[in-house]
Structure 1
Amino acid sequence: MFKNYRSVVALLLFFAGMLNYLDRAALSVMAPLVKKDLQIDDAQMGILFSCFFIGYCLFCFLGGWGADRFGPRRVFGWAAAVWSLFCGATALAGNFAHLLIVRVLFGIGEGPMGTTTNKSIANWFPRKEVGRAVGFTNAGQPLGAAVAAPVVGLVGLHFGWRISFVVIAVLGFIWLLFWLWLFRDKPEQHSRVTDAERQLIVTQRPASRAGKSPAASSISLWRYVFSLPVLGVASAFFCFNYIQYFFLSWLPSYLTDFQHLDIKSMSLIGILPWLGATVGFIGGGIISDAIYHRTGNFLLSRKLVIFCGLAIAAVCVMLTAWSSSVTVAVSLITLASIFAYMTPQACWSLLQDIVPSERIGTAGGFVHLLANLAGILSPGITGFLIQYGGGYASAFLLASLLALVGIALLGLFVRQQSVNALRALA
């Protein structure tokens, strides 16, 4: 994967994910300072975390549709510009209402990222490399969350929380310049791609063994997105996302409010779960491709990784609910992150094998929309549980239960027989 021009594409997508999650995690890292400055309580902070996903979910779907119609280069370019702009605009917020509006608009900009990344990978990587490509490019996301803790935390402590958002916005616009310079929608359109690499990619793209299928194009999109296999992938993705957004939104507050760490200590210790998540992303991709190489069964290789990842994560999250030691709690959360983050890359690559390439952007956008409804529910529910319910323990137990639900729904809906029937439509 790192010998040809597609490695440049992988690096661009890696850094896009890194910046995306650096932006997204910034508010949770700065939450103690923002709450104090703007006089916001835990329930209101939960609403702020959740409202980001109102615009985000809608544009997951619209971004995927746009990537199919206009190409990922144009869609990702506009998305990066919008999210960087409104990330910087967070520095201008003077009260809860202002911050609420900015977060919704910020979410609109970030919405297309996941599906556009998946569309880019489907265009640029052969089937045998899909797992590693998805794992590597998406590994930038938790790494961005890891970097957010020390970078945003220390900048906020020394220069104020508002300056940290301006710095991140500038980084986003710098990435945008490189994206427009180096990326094209397909290798066929790029002069720097060799004939050998172009031929390899074109003939071995996932879900497109014989190029674009007129039959698949004539079939209604909704036959794909409402099929059991696609809904099964979306269900597993939703349950993973509930855990992800619980950690992304509330982990810094958990470490400061429940484990009584100061912001400086939280900024350093808070790196560990996200480093673990990075290992999970990359490791999950390598493992799923290795299983596929040994068994020749693409579906099995992805399902095994999702089953094992969510099961081990569920146990670790459940045990955290009863942990009063910061060392034990952070160790369990880090271990949960390693295994939970094997799930999304397996979901993305599984979807590429189920849905034809000319439908992957829109179908992926629909899956991402359903999966990211967890972003609306998880932070808000957690905030109310902390303030009015059973505290952090009940929040950890609910996240653990949903991981087990994800396993059950994936096993029930994503079966070889139903996948074969869906492929037969094309």
Structure 2
Amino acid sequence: MARLPAGIRFIVSFSRDQWYRAFIFVLTFLLYASFHLSRKPISIVKGELHKHCAGGEAEPSFSGQSSGASHRPPRQLPDNETDCGWAPFDKNNYQQLLGALDYSFLCAYAIGMYLSGIIGERLPIRYYLTFGMLASGAFTSLFGLGYFYNIHSFGFYVVTQILNGLVQTTGWPSVVTCLSNWFGKGRRGLIMGVWNSHTSVGNILGSLIAGYWVSTCWGLSFIVPGAIVAAMGIVCFLFLIEHPKDIRCSSTLSMHSKGYESTVDRFRLHRPALHGEKSRPLDPEMQCLLLADGKSSICPSHVVVLPGDSGNSMTAISFTGALRIPGVIEFSLCLLFAKLVSYTFLFWLPLYITSVDHLDAKKAGELSTLFDVGGIFGGILAGVISDRLEKRASTCGLMLLLAAPTLYVFSSVSKMGLEATVAMLLLSGALVSGPYALITTAVSADLGTHKSLKGNAHALSTVTAIIDGTGSVGAALGPLLAGLISPSGWSNVFYMLMFADACALLFLIRLIHKELSCPGPTAGGQAPLKEH
């Protein structure tokens, strides 16, 4: 018999279940990358909506830098454009107006996220996510149509941003829930750390696509990303598989593959550490989050949700019930400040680079992608370290502790030249994005399938929405504060970001103390995840 070709041997070396898991991993990665791709254009186009004036009113200076340091060759302006940019952003209050655009999107996103998780628990993920992506593509493109239809109404752009922010909340709870259905907790930090690089990949692609047209036809900087996210919505409808049981795949989370089991059997699979029962110890991280001293047995008061008596039916968790899960409030408040820092960079970094390094909007947008490149490595590093140590809060705390002084150095050396800016963009991206990535992925999934939930599969989307929704409040505040503070100097913006990092670390102190007071992880001591 002839030897099989190497490619075929590679294919058959993986099981059907493994191929499906790899497919879902890649598909959800691309779906959410397209969401971030559609959010990035506004930060790239800011430098075009308001430009250095060719004449007339003077441009306000930043951090002692003269506005006359950057000169562009004169060019013929279209009828719907002025020397200082696109009305109404061509006035001296342009930073407040641009900040209001960011705030309108992010505030709507934060409010909508709380509702999105609750709605998402009660609707099929595939339909819900498809609707959100199609609507997001439409509203992203609508912003760009303002260029072609010569729209100069500030209200038009604000309303478009609000509607886009609301529909984009369908994305995160849906993709996290779907991915968690397919992957257990064994190496969740590493898997989700790699997967969470979709944020940076989407930002990079969004920067490059928007930057291609920003100087010639900035309307296409929105229309093309909008078309991409809408097309990915169609792909989602055609190919997304919500759960392994839908195609009779064996799941690492075996409880759902046996829907006929009685309530008693499901509890036996779960093996909770009830009083008087000798079972495998909880993994150290969950034990520290759940218990006061890391040694006592689980108290019945920590049981948030119980499965229904009808064998297979479980009601979706309530909002207050999700808040009672140990660790949800602390990580939510930490993410509020961590996301404040991350989204300030997301929306204002290209304009900062334009002001400090005196680059045009296209080059500043391309350079800003280095922050996202650093974020990819930061997210993966945070996941690997937290998996190895089994201490999520301590990993986040360490990176937050290092991020604050790094931001101070960034604000100082970025004025020294392009090389220093490149180095600090990579380092700052890793330290700022690491905790943010870990909390929104692995930590959210851990808490959404917490042992105190007693196997309720309808909690993950709500918990994810609460954590990310609270973080989105910070995401809304950060760009708004940057718009208000930046006229007094960019150094003050960095002081604000350093203070936010310190606050994020402060909210994790109690969880870090519990983790460090627990015994270190033992080999094989982590119980398999059976809740979902």
Deviates more, 1:212-221 or 1:102-111: 212-221
Give the 5 Å matches for 1:198-213: 198-203=250-255, 210=270, 213=306
Structure ID, larger Rg:
2
The match for 1:88 among 136, 141, 161 is 141
- Residue type matched to 1:285 in 2? G
Alignment of 1:55-94 (within 5 A): 55-93=108-146, 94=151
Which residue identity is paired with 1:190? I
Q: Equivalent residues in 2 for 1:296-311 (5 A)?
A: 300=391, 302-311=392-401
Task: Single out whichever of 118-127 and 244-253 deviates more from structure 2.
Answer: 118-127
Residue 7 of structure 1 corresponds to 22
Q: Does structure 2 retain, via aligned residues, the 8 Å contact 1:126–1:204?
A: no
1:130 to 188, 195, 202: 188
- Give 1:186's aligned residue: 243
| 1:154 Cα deviation from its structure 2 partner | 1.5
2:275 match? none
1:175-206 residue CA offsets vs partner (Å, 9 max, x unmatched): 11221122122110126x4xxxx23243599x
Taking the aligned partners of 1:333 and 1:317, their CA distance within structure 2 comes to 10
Determine which of 394, 403, 409 is the counterpart of 2:501.
Answer: 403
Q: Which range moves more in the overlay, 372-381 or 133-142? A: 133-142
Q: Which residue in 2 is equivalent to 1:297? A: none
Residue 351 of structure 1 is matched in structure 2 by 444
- When residues 259 and 13 of structure 1 are mapped into structure 2, their CA distance, relative to the original with a 3 A threshold, is same
Match in the other structure for 2:346: 248
Which residues in structure 2 correspond to 1:7-406 (within 5 Å)? Answer: 7-35=22-50, 36-40=85-89, 41-93=94-146, 94-95=151-152, 96-158=154-216, 160-190=217-247, 193=249, 198-203=250-255, 210=270, 213-214=306-307, 220-225=318-323, 229-292=327-390, 300=391, 302-323=392-413, 324-325=415-416, 326-347=418-439, 348-355=441-448, 356=453, 357-387=457-487, 389=488, 391-406=489-504
Q: Secondary structure at the match of 1:126?
A: coil
Please give the per-residue CA displacement for 1:300-333, whole angstroms capped at 9, x wherever unaligned.
Answer: 2x12321122122222112222232243234223
- Paired amino acid for 2:473: L
Q: Deviations over 1:392-414 (max 9, x none)?
A: 11111111121121112112257
Counterparts of 2:364 and 2:95 in 1: how far apart (Å)?
A: 18
CA contact (8 A) 2:48 2:361 kept: no
Moved over 6 A (4+): none
Q: Residue type matched to 2:467 in 1? A: V
Contact 1:303 1:346 in 2 (8 A): no
Instruction: Indicate if the aligned counterparts of 1:312 and 1:336 stay in contact, CA closer than 8 A.
Output: no
Q: Unmatched 5+ residue regions in structure 1?
A: 293-299, 421-426
CA contact (8 A) 1:310 1:339 kept: yes
Q: Residue 235 of structure 1 aligns to a residue in which SS?
A: helix
Please report how far the alpha carbon of residue 133 of structure 1 lies from its aligned counterpart in structure 2 after TM superposition. 3.0
Residues 1:219 and 1:253: Cα distance change in structure 2 (over 3 Å): closer
Shift of 1:245: 0.8
Change in Cα spacing, 1:274 to 1:204, as seen in structure 2 (3 Å) is: farther
Change (3 A) 1:202 1:414: farther
Q: 1:74 to 1:130 in 2, by over 3 A?
A: farther
Cα distance in 2 between the residues matched to 1:220 and 1:384: 37
CA distance in 2 between partners of 1:175 and 1:109 (Å)? 15
- Aligned mates of 2:355, 2:326 — CA distance in 1: 42
Change over 3 Å in CA distance of 1:3–1:316 after alignment to 2:
same
Q: What do you get for the CA RMSD once the two structures are aligned?
A: 2.8
Q: For 2:234, give the aligned amino acid.
A: L
After superposition, give the CA deviation of every residue in 1:222-257 in whole Å (9 maximum; x if it has no partner).
133155621111012112101111101100100112
Q: 3-state SS of the aligned residue for 2:19?
A: coil
Q: Which amino acid aligns with 2:425?
A: I
Q: Percent identity?
A: 18
The verdict on how the C-alpha distance between 1:282 and 1:148 changes in structure 2, with shifts beyond 3 A counting, is: same
